[in-house]
Amino acid sequence: MQACRAKIVLTFVLVVAIATAEDFPLSELVEGQNGFGVTEGVGGKLERFPIKILGVQEDPSLGFPLIIIRAEGELIDQAEGISAGMSGSPVYLHKDDQQEKSLLGAIAYVFPESDHHLALVTPISAMRGLFDEPETIPFGTWPTGGLTAAVPVATPLLLSGVSSRTIDRLGPLLRESPLNFLPIQTGGTVQSDESTSLEAGSAISIQLVRGDITVAAIGTVTEVANGEVLALGHSLLGLGNVSFPLTTADIIHIVPSDLVPFKLANSGTHILGSIIQDRFAGLAGNIDKKPDLLPVNISLSDTRNTLIRKVEIVREEGLYPTLLQVSVQQLLDEIRNEVSGGTSELAWEILFQTGDRLTMLQQTSHRDDLALATSKIAAEPLKILSINPFETPDLKQVNLNISYEKYLRTAELVNVDAATLDVAPGEVLVAYIRLQPYRGQALVEELLIDLPQDLEGKVALVFRSGQYRDQDQEQDKEDYEPWDGDILSFGDLLVALRDEQQASELVIEVITDGKARLLQRQIFPFIIEGQETLEIEIQNLNQDEAEEEQ
């Protein structure tokens, strides 16, 4: 308990920032020059470690040169090399035997298949360009892979309140990032105070999700001056203009490894400012600038109780689906305390800054893993909004209510029949459907279907579930368009989403000219599974035939 108290007290200490060092000119670099790096160690202590200049890699594909160094000293040796989380650690040299140090840049890249004491430094001159207009910032491309290629220093991705199985849901985020993220489960966040400040070498946390769940990347400050922060020396996600919460990080331990040594840390709770640029030369941020976050309120309930959880996620459209899916799966696992099947119903309320309000209702079930199935469905509306071609969805808040039960509330559509298969245009067709509820008694339902006046001849009626699209189907972002040709605007898209067919609906369509035409939708108290087709013949009776029949 005392150790826990001490850890919290440390975060309230105001760190006195040292004077900003002037930049070391690359033109004065000499092979063999000695200097030192600074990075935060256990207990908030800034640790120095010696470095030696080995050379300059001129004009790499990033658009700026990189300085090759070798890091030494007790801190580096004990960890067996440069640790994940050291990205951004400042490197200093002395000019002309002067006592005053000059800032060379930030540790940013390593050679994963080589000596872990070797690193590449991003020049501070390239990082300063992060505060310029985006057009003036060198972008370039990431170096190609291979055993000898340098890669960004691995970045610990702290997951507080997130189980090991939920980490798999972060797959899209981890794959799309140019970084080598190192997912690490941590005990939680550490209380921090607004009196906490940063200096060069301080550990920082860049949060993607905060609240009842935390997903945050750990790195190091390169420089703090006039309320501006430079960090990492490489990008986080490479998204350009961003608004990510910036907090302190509490280093618990540096875990040695001959593969990837890493800093084990907790993420601070108090927001110090915002990261506003995420580009190849590093991260740039402003102290005291409030990040723009999307509030998400999630309510989970069964027949006995309700659990309400609140998170905030960064306002990046491409990250919405992944971050919401992670949050929902973790919270369902937490409240259910098991991996099992069942049925759930989801009700969304999505509020827009424009005053628009989108409400949706959907159901899903799964025999083995309800939490996974529900989390995929939960993310679907935000995925559709994030890739729509009409306009930027300016979201204000997302409220998601999920009710769940451990039983499979499903019914299979077994067969369809009709009182007569010969009808006239515009008549009412009397159809009978047989449903087999899961481990329940079969039932037969009578349906009255109004046939359009313009139908005639042999036609096929399709009876199917309104089940959501197959969530397990891999769909490329460019090819995935969940809207048809009738949706011509963002307003049309919202209307279509509000009217989205539900899994508990039986949808009846007629196929004409190879296209489906909706005839009827009917809600049932369970999720419909399966599809059946009924062929009928629609004939126009002439007047004589009609009189004979009379």
The mean pLDDT of 162-179, rounded to a whole number, is 59
Confidence of residue 282 (pLDDT cuts 50, 70, 90): very high
The pLDDT value given to residue 525: 95
Confidence of residue 167 (pLDDT cuts 50, 70, 90): low
Q: Which has more confidence, 475 or 325?
A: 325
Amino acid residing at 181: F
The mean pLDDT of 514-525, rounded to a whole number, is 92
CA dist., res. 208 & res. 318, Å (int) = 12
- Cα Rg, the chain, nearest whole Å: 30
Taking 60 as the threshold, does the pLDDT of residue 400 lie above it?
yes
The pLDDT value given to residue 72: 95
Confidence of residue 472 (pLDDT cuts 50, 70, 90): very low
Confidence of residue 213 (pLDDT cuts 50, 70, 90): confident
51-65, 126-140, 330-344, 524-538: the lowest-pLDDT one = 126-140
The pLDDT value given to residue 140: 43
Taking 90 as the threshold, does the pLDDT of residue 397 lie above it?
yes
HSE, side-chain direction, 13 A CA sphere, residue 465: 22
Confidence of residue 258 (pLDDT cuts 50, 70, 90): confident
The mean pLDDT of 384-402, rounded to a whole number, is 95
The pLDDT value given to residue 20: 65
Contact 465, 506 (CB under 8 A): yes
What is the tens place of the pLDDT at every residue in 426-446?
999 999 999 999 999 999 999
CA dist., res. 521 & res. 463, Å (int) = 10
Taking 50 as the threshold, does the pLDDT of residue 466 lie above it?
yes
Burial pattern 372-407, b for ≥16 Cβ within 10 A else e, equals bbbbbbbbbbbbbbbbbeeeebebeebebbbbbeee
Contact 264, 235 (CB under 8 A): no
The pLDDT value given to residue 152: 80
Taking 70 as the threshold, does the pLDDT of residue 60 lie above it?
no
Domain 315-405, CATH among 1.10.8, 1.20.1050, 3.30.1490, 3.30.720: 3.30.1490
The pLDDT value given to residue 190: 58
Question: What are 231's two structure tokens?
Answer: 């960090």
Q: What is the pTM of this model?
A: 0.84
* Whole-number average pLDDT of the chain: 84
What is the 8-class DSSP label of residue 256?
-
Domain 1-291, CATH among 2.40.160.20, 3.40.50.620, 3.40.50.720, 2.40.10.10: 2.40.10.10
Taking 60 as the threshold, does the pLDDT of residue 548 lie above it?
no
Q: If you average pLDDT over each of 210-224, 300-314, 433-447, which comes out highest? A: 433-447
CATH 3.30.1490 domain span(s) along the chain = 315-405
The mean pLDDT of 103-122, rounded to a whole number, is 91
Taking 50 as the threshold, does the pLDDT of residue 9 lie above it?
no
Taking 50 as the threshold, does the pLDDT of residue 474 lie above it?
no
How would you write 346-386 as a 3-class SS string?
A: EEEEEEECCCCEEEEEEEEEECCCHHHHHHHHHHHHHHHHH
Share above pLDDT 70 across residues of the chain, in percent, rounded to a whole number:
80
CA dist., res. 432 & res. 463, Å (int) = 11
58-62, 260-264, 299-303, 495-499: the lowest-pLDDT one = 58-62
Contact 1, 24 (CB under 8 A): no
What is the tens place of the pLDDT at every residue in 133-158?
554 444 444 444 443 467 788 777 77
CATH 2.40.10.10 domain span(s) along the chain = 1-291
Q: If you average pLDDT over each of 161-165, 303-307, 370-374, which comes out highest? A: 370-374
